[in-house]
Copies of this chain bind each other. A is one copy, B any other.
Amino acid sequence: MASRPTGSLIHLNEPETLETKQYEVPEPEPGAVVTEVVRANVCGSELHIWRGHHPEVKEGVLGHEVLCRVSELGDGVETDYAGQPIEEGDIVAPVYYITCQKCSSCLNGEFHLCQNAYRYWSKPPEEPPHFHGTFATHYYIHPNQYFYKIPEGLDKKIAAGANCALSQVMFGLDETGVEYGDVVLVQGAGGLGLNAIAVANEQGAETIVVEGVDGRIERAKEFGVDHVIDFREHDTVDARAERVRELTDGIGADVAVEVAGVPEAFAEGIYLLRDGGRYLEMGNVNPGHVAEFDPGTLTRKSIDITAVVRYNPWYLHKALTFLADNAEQYPYEDLIDAEFDLMDVDEALAKSDSREITRAALVPPHEHKE
Looking at the complex, which one of B111, B115, B294 makes contact with A288 (CB distance below 8 Å)?
Answer: B294
In the complex, A285→B297 CA distance in Å?
7
Please tell me the size bucket of the interface on A: 35 or more
Give chain A interface residues in 172-198, CB to chain B under 8 Å: 174, 179-181
Complex formed: what's the CA distance from A82 to B314 in Å?
Answer: 22
Contact A292 B292 (CB under 8 A): yes
Tell whether A105 pairs with B285 under 8 Å between CB atoms, given A263-B294, A263-B295, A299-B309: no
- Asked whether, in the complex, the Cβ of B302 is within 8 Å of the Cβ of A304, the reply is no
Most buried by B among A274, A295, A308, A317: A295
Check B81–A102 contact: CB distance below 8 A: yes
A140 sits at the interface (CB 8 A): no
Question: Chain B residues near A110 (CB, 8 Å)?
Answer: 275-276, 302
Q: Let me know if A294 and B299 touch, CB within 8 A.
A: no
Which residue in B108, B290, B321 is a CB contact (below 8 Å) of A314?
B108
Is A213 engaged at the interface, CB distance under 8 Å to the other chain? no
Q: Which of B108, B203, B276 contacts A108 (CB 8 A)?
A: B276
**A253-296 vs B, Cβ < 8 Å mask (1 yes, 0 no):** 00000100001001100000011100001111111111111111
The 10 closest A-B pairs by CB, nearest first: A293-B293, A284-B295, A305-B305, A266-B295, A287-B296, A290-B292, A287-B297, A110-B276, A286-B296, A299-B307
